[in-house]
């Protein structure tokens, strides 16, 4: 028996889901919460398998609820439900550990499927949401690609030095590892600063990591 709690501030919506799930004989709705704080409180005295969580909740929003819930009860599977197919929402709540994300216009067949999938520990996204995530992913790739193309001209030796810097080695250690003088390493560092337009080591590391210049 899959124990389910529903968290949504619209009574009719909660009732609707509940009536759908009542027809499933391996599912049981054991809790209803109408705001975020209620969820936290409810879980203190109840065990559930799945939390159907609206992203826009009063008092404490779904993203926060998701984070807090999983921090205390990592075995709860969270299926996010939202009116909005917004990339920022989707991305945030997934980062907090939600396993799935479906929209409120999802039909009963898909809802059941989503719950069953999530219950096995797998992720589930409705196809509109999938599209949204993929678009976001593509944007990121394009961004980091552009950036990457901007700083290509780092020599082999400089790359070695850069890698060792990022691994927290001091200039002296790098000199030892590469069998060159300390002053030579310092010289490479200067070239790196100039080429990468960095003011100091911090910038060097940040730019190198942002642009994925290693590998």
Partner DNA sequence: ATATAACTAGGGGAAACCCCTAAAATATGA
Partner DNA sequence: TCATATTTTAGGGGTTTCCCCTAGTTATAT
d(CA 71, CA 114): 23
151 binds DNA (CB under 7 A): no
CB under 5 to 8 A by kind: which of a copy of itself, DNA, none does 215 bind?
none
Residue 14 Rama label (left phi>0; alpha psi -120 to 50; beta): alpha
199 binds DNA (CB under 7 A): yes
**Mask for 162-191, x = binds DNA (CB under 7 A):** ---x----xxxx----x-xxxxx-xxxxxx
C-alpha distances (whole Å) from 89 to each of 23, 70, 97 are 31, 17, 13
- Which of 125, 132, 154, 192 binds a copy of itself (CB under 8 A)? It is 125
- Which of 46, 47, 105, 130 binds a copy of itself (CB under 8 A)? It is 130
Q: What is the DSSP string of 132-191?
A: HHHHHHHHHHHHHHHHHHHS----HHHHHHHHHHHTT--HHHHHHHHTS-HHHHHHHHHH
Joined together, the tokens standing for residue 115 give 């719950």
205 binds a copy of itself (CB under 8 A): yes
Question: Smaller CB distance to a copy of itself: residue 56 or 201?
Answer: 201
Helix 182-196 to helix 171-178 angle (10° resolution) is 110
Site residues for a copy of itself per CB under 8 A:
94-95, 97, 123, 125, 127, 130, 133-135, 137-138, 141-142, 145, 165-166, 168, 170, 198-206, 209-210
Site residues for DNA per CB under 7 A:
153-158, 165, 170-173, 178, 180-184, 186-191, 193-194, 199-202, 204
């Amino acid at each position: 028996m899959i124990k389910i709690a529903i968290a949504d501030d619209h009574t009719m919506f909660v009732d609707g889901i509940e009536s759908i799930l009542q027809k499933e004989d391996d599912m049981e709705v054991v809790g209803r919460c109408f705001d975020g704080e209620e969820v936290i409180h409810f879980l203190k005295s109840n065990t559930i398998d799945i939390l159907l969580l609206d992203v826009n909740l009063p008092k404490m929003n779904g993203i926060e609820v998701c984070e807090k819930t999983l921090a205390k009860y990592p075995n709860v599977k969270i299926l996010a439900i939202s009116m909005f197919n917004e990339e920022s929402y989707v991305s945030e709540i997934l980062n907090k550990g939600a396993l799935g994300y479906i929209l409120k216009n999802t039909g009963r067949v898909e809802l059941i499927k989503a719950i069953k999938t999530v219950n096995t520990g797998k992720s589930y996204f409705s196809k509109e949401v999938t599209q949204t995530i993929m678009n976001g992913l593509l944007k990121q790739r394009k961004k980091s690609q552009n950036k990457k193309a901007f700083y290509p001209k780092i020599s082999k030796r400089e790359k070695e030095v850069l890698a060792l810097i990022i691994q927290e080695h001091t200039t002296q250690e790098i000199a030892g590892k590469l069998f060159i003088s300390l002053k030579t390493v310092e010289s490479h560092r200067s070239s790196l600063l100039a080429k990468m337009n960095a003011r100091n080591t911090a910038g060097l590391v940040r730019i190198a990591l942002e642009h994925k210049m290693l590998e």
